[in-house]
Amino acid sequence: DAGVTQSPTHLIKTRGQQVTLRCSPKSGHDTVSWYQQALGQGPQFIFQYYEEEERQRGNFPDRFSGHQFPNYSSELNVNALLLGDSALYLCASNGGGSEKLFFGSGTQLSVL
């Protein structure tokens, strides 16, 4: 049973560029959430997708957008990258009303 998978594992971009990160949820899960983890901090909630719609959003600018596909996989897009966007981006999934989130290993984004 595959868990949450994310791609790519590492990414290097320059300021002003755009990036797309991808996530496949754990089998049987229909809800995908994205978190940003800066160095030395805990994960911060970006947004959550359910039934292909953004259900909740954290305190992140509109440069951060996402999408969920009919197969429940999801993408996180960040436009006009800033140096401060350098972080580990974690995808998490859950389903069946469970509060327990399952996390992927993350995408380490470096903005130069």
Partner 1 sequence: DQQVKQNSPSLSVQEGRISILNCDYTNSMFDYFLWYKKYPAEGPTFLISISSIKDKNEDGRFTVFLNKSAKHLSLHIVPSQPGDSAVYFCAASASFSGGYNKLIFGAGTRLAVHP
Tell me which residues touch partner 1 (CB under 8 A): 4, 31, 33, 35, 40-45, 48, 55-56, 58, 90, 92, 94, 99-106
Closer to partner 1 by Cβ: residue 66 or 106 = 106
In terms of CB distance, is 31 or 68 closer to partner 1? 31
CB 16 to partner 1: min, Å = 29
| Shortest Å distance, C-beta 15 to partner 1 | 26
Q: Concatenated DSSP letters for the chain? A: ----EEE-SEEEE-TT--EEEEEEPPTT--EEEEEEE-TTS--EEEEEEETTEEEEE-S--TTEEEEE-TTS-EEEEE-S--GGG-EEEEEEEE-TT----EE---EEEEE-
Q: How far is the CB of 19 from partner 1 (least distance, A)?
A: 19
